[in-house]
Amino acid sequence: MAKIEKIELRMVDLVPKVKRTDAIQSFVSQETPIVTITDSDGAVGTGYSYTIGTGGSSVMRLLSDHLAPRLIGRDPDMIEAIWHDLEFATHATTIGAITAIAIAAVDTALWDLRAKKQNLPLWKLAGGAKDRCPLYTTEGGWLHIETAALVDDALAAKAKGFRGSKVKIGRPHGSEDLARLSAVRKAVGDGYEIMTDANQGFSVDEAIRRAARLRELDLAWIEEPLPADDIDGHIRLSNSTPTPIAIGESLYSMRHFREYMQKGACSIVQVDVGRIGGITPWLKIAHAAEAFDIPVCPHFLMELHVSLTCAVQNGRYVEYIPQLDQLTGRHMRIEDGHALAPDEPGIGIDWDWDAVKAMSIAEFTTAITKQGN
Catalytic residue among 117, 168, 234, 305: 168
Q: pLDDT digit string (tens) for 200-219?
A: 999 999 999 999 999 999 99
Active site residue 158: no
Active site residue 234: no
For the residues of 106-170, what is the DSSP string, one character each? HHHHHHHHHHHHTT-BHHHHTT---SEEEEEE-TT--TTS-HHHHHHHHHHHHHTT--EEEEE--
The percent of residues above 70 in pLDDT, for the chain, comes to 98
Q: Rounded to the nearest 5 degrees, what angle is found at the Cα of 133, between the Cα atoms of 286 and 223? A: 60
What whole-number distance in Å separates Cα of residue 95 and Cα of residue 127? 27
Is residue 21 over pLDDT 80?
no
pLDDT of residue 373: 52
What whole-number distance in Å separates Cα of residue 154 and Cα of residue 166? 9
Beta bridge pairs of residue 135? 318
Q: Is 303 helix (H, G, I), strand (E, B) or coil?
A: helix
pLDDT of residue 184: 98
Neighbours of 232 (CB within 10 A): 11
Q: pLDDT digit string (tens) for 122-162?
A: 999 999 999 999 999 998 898 999 999 999 999 999 999 99
Q: Give the model's confidence band at 53: pLDDT under 50 very low, under 70 low, under 90 confident, else very high.
A: confident
Catalytic residue among 6, 299, 305, 338: 299
Q: pLDDT digit string (tens) for 179-202?
A: 999 999 999 999 999 999 999 999
Q: pLDDT digit string (tens) for 274-290?
A: 999 999 999 999 999 99
Q: Is 184 exposed, middle or buried (0-12, 13-18, 19+ CB in 10 A)?
A: buried
Q: Where are the alpha helices (DSSP H) in the chain?
A: 56-62, 79-89, 97-117, 122-125, 147-159, 174-188, 204-214, 231-240, 254-262, 273-276, 279-291, 302-311, 353-359
Q: Averaged over 118-125, what is the pLDDT?
A: 98
pLDDT of residue 205: 97
CA count, 13 A, side-chain hemisphere, 293: 1
Pairing between β-strand 245-247 and β-strand 221-223 as defined by DSSP bridges: parallel
